[in-house]
A = this chain, B = another copy of it.
Amino acid sequence: MSNIRDVAKVAGVSIATVSRALSAPETVSKASLKKVHDAIEQVQYKPNMLARNFRRHRAFNIVVLVPNMANTFFATVVRGIEDVAQQHGYGVLLGDTRDVLQREEEYLKLVETSQADGVIQLRPHWEGNSILPRDNIVAVSACGCENTPYPCVRIDNAEASKTATEYLISLGHKRIGVITGLADNPHTIDRLKGYRDAISEAGIEYNDMMIAEGEFTMWSGLNAARHFIRMPADERPTAILSMNDEMAIGAIKAFRANKIDVPNDVSIIGFDDIEVSRYTEPALTTIAQPAEQIGKAAANMLLKLIEGKEVRQTDYVLPFEFVVRASSTPVK
């Protein structure tokens, strides 16, 4: 492996000139520049970024903490992050944490030991169950919640589920069920708030029996739906708001298996708008999050923070979109 010194020798200039030709070409004469480039070609020089980064005290890497990489929504956010990072010369280190705090801790060490310059957290900030924010760690929350105590890019979750609930109410539904995430998950809390606001404004009383807890997986959605299936038909919700599309897909499966028709016996609304939601039977009415945009915005924010630039909005709220498909229909 050739180094900057070899290039300097062949080009007949000093190593400083080579260095400058590479990182600040405008400060070098045209003649030297050419000599350097020819020499680089000749000795097949590839800069050792490990050395450069070490010298600059920067890793030019960011780490992204993902609860579950196999979740399409998260994967799409990561795509957005990666796109922006790559454009700015940063690498993306994957931290699939499987929702284990201990694993988040492991990955944070990458930042503490200078192997990464900052971190994007995809798990929402959770009081008493979070490793961020942390001194000396530059971090941004993506797809998080209100009141995150560090910079954050997100949608208005409460407003989104309120919108969906209001739509169901406008369709004549009065018994509206919810499939939530874990009870203390911040997304569950924010989204439940929107639901409660909407039914309360419509004069519908809140009823515990309308709530079934899942954990954002298809399997847990299927399970949660059983809670409703066990109810007498005249008490069962005529519509269900699921806090993500995966659980909605699981729920549809459960209802079909019990000869409860979607949407004729029960309407279902999802959350996220992952790609497969267009293809389910029936196609899923859902709240579309701009996943890739969220990722891009979060990455841009983090890079600014890392590079010491000013960040105007530290709670950046992107618009969601409510997408009506076939899984929701007026109450019979």
Contacts and interface: CB of A to CB of B under 8 A. Distances in A.
Interface of A: 46-51, 53-54, 57, 59-61, 63, 69-72, 75-76, 78-79, 82-83, 86, 91-94, 96, 103, 106, 110, 112-115, 218, 222, 249-250, 252-253, 256, 275-276, 278-281
Given A46-B114, A50-B59, A51-B114, 9 more contacts: A48-B114, A50-B54, A50-B115, A75-B75, A78-B96, A86-B106, A93-B93, A222-B279, A276-B276
Contact of A92 (B47, B72, B83, B94): B94
Nearest to A57: B50
A82 B106 CA distance: 13
Contacts of A54: 48, 50-51, 53-54
Contact of A49 (B93, B114, B275, B279): B114
Contacts of A252: 279, 281
A70 B59 contact: no
B113 A94 contact: no
A92 B96 CA distance: 10
A69 B96 contact: no
Considering the complex of A and B, which 5 residue pairs feature the smallest CB-CB distances, nearest first? Answer: A54-B54, A49-B113, A281-B281, A50-B114, A50-B54
B61 A113 contact: no
Nearest to A86: B106
Contacts of A79: 69-70, 96
Contacts of A60: 115
Nearest to A52: B113
Contacts of A93: 61, 91-94
A171 to B, nearest CB: 23
Nearest to A56: B50
A256 B78 CA distance: 33
Contacts of A110: 49, 91
Nearest to A59: B50
B53 A69 contact: no
A50 B54 CA distance: 5
B70 A76 contact: yes
Contacts of A112: 46
Contacts of A59: 50
A46 B136 CA distance: 12
B279 A218 contact: yes
Contacts of A47: 113
A249 B279 contact: yes
Nearest to A256: B281
Contacts of A53: 50, 54, 115
27 contacts: A46-B113, A47-B113, A48-B54, A48-B113, A49-B114, A49-B115, A50-B50, A50-B114, A50-B115, A51-B54, A53-B115, A61-B91, A63-B91, A69-B82, A71-B75, A72-B75, A78-B94, A79-B96, A86-B103, A92-B93, A93-B93, A93-B94, A218-B278, A252-B279, A253-B279, A253-B281, A276-B276
